[in-house]
Amino acid sequence: MSIKLRPLVTLALSLGMAATLPIGAASPAALKSVPVAAVAGGAQGTALDAVVEAGRQTVIAAQVQGAIVALPVKAGQAVRAGQLLVRLDARAAQSGVDVSQAQLEAARALAAQAQREHQRQQALFEQQYVSQAALERSLAALRAAQAQVRATAAQTTAAHTQSGYYSVSAPYAGVISELPVSLGDLASPGRPLLTLFDPASLRLSVQVPESLAAGQGSVRVQVDGLPAFELPQGQWLPAVDPVSHTRTLRLTLPAEMSAALAPGRFARVWLPGRVLSAAPARLLVPQAAVLRRAELQAVYVITAEGRPVLRQVRLGEARGDQVEVLTGLREGESVALDPQAAAAQVR
């Protein structure tokens, strides 16, 4: 949409320009010295909000109760698999392990004695000095002692396992995103100690209207602070939300972006195909063609007669060396790539 003559002249004068509207036709030689570019239509698509989430994220909680006596990590720290994260006070559990170990040694001693006694009874029975009943009693005592050894060994293993719960280690290499506890806090079963995620498994989660869920082609992604990039369409979850009538699209992010992104980060995704409503075509012009002075954003449009005309525009999102034009231009028009050289032609 072109600007009316009076506001345009006022803006031009405020910038210190002698004139911004064409006064006469420029010479052919002068026009050849000003490079031009055609206004191109951008790819149609629907812009949707997305959120970065971790494909592998774990909330690590305590399995036993105890005071936190060691907390060698902090939020945002990268840890390796098996690294100690939290240690609880395990003195009572260690006492239980010692008791179980002592009971196991006593049971093994009794079993060894029962074994020797049965061997003696067996020898006496073969010489017919003892009865069959005496031999069977010695065998029963041996089997009972052996069973006691197995039961005590199982209790000792359980005690060792229980004591291992007082040291919490990283199940895989990742980054600690949340650490809601402090040294000295009392941990209890089920209480979260920290949240760990794998930065190599980041993905985008997009809620897509059901009418657009069948779109094909690559997806363009824009995250604040990062250049736009393309991703192939990922996994569509089969379920449809009965309230919002949307399906979830998951897009796997490249592993090399893990240093710049984290779960919960906002992103914008452009899906190819149909749009939600009859929206105008997206127009793109080179960044070099835009003249910026204070609050003025304008381009020099080359008319059919070959004359550069200053026209104010409203800009949208930048896409590399291109910028989206929301209003002020039509597809197929030509703009000057050098606004300063174009301005010299109309003076």
Structural class in CATH, domain 5-42+281-345: mainly beta
pLDDT reading at 31 higher than 80: no
Domain-wise residue ranges, the chain: 5-42+281-345, 46-56+199-271, 91-164
Give how far Cα 33 sits from Cα of 26, 138, 168, 309, Å. Answer: 11, 114, 71, 16
Helix, strand, coil percentages, rounded to 5, for the chain: 30, 35, 35
Q: What is the pLDDT of residue 347?
A: 64
CB 339 within 8 A of CB 286: no
Q: What is the pLDDT of residue 78?
A: 92
Q: pLDDT tier at 72 (50, 70, 90 boundaries)?
A: very high
Q: What average pLDDT does this structure show over 256-280?
A: 71
Question: CA-to-CA distance for 284 and 336, rounded, in angstroms?
Answer: 13
Q: What is the pLDDT of residue 279?
A: 46
Q: What is the pLDDT of residue 172?
A: 94
Q: Which CATH number fits domain 91-164: 1.20.81, 1.10.3470, 1.10.1200, 1.10.287?
A: 1.10.287
Q: What is the pLDDT of residue 56?
A: 92
Q: What is the pLDDT of residues 93-108, one digit of tens each?
A: 888 889 999 999 999 9
pLDDT reading at 278 higher than 50: no
Q: What is the pLDDT of residues 92-148, one digit of tens each?
A: 888 888 999 999 999 999 999 999 999 999 999 899 888 999 989 999 999 999 999
Q: pLDDT tier at 30 (50, 70, 90 boundaries)?
A: very low
If one compares 213 and 197, the residue with the highest pLDDT of the two is: 197
Helix (H), strand (E) at residue 196: strand 192-197
Domain 5-42+281-345 shares a fold with domain 91-164: no
Does the domain made of 46-56+199-271 have the CATH classification 3.40.50.10790? no
Average model confidence (pLDDT) across the chain: 81
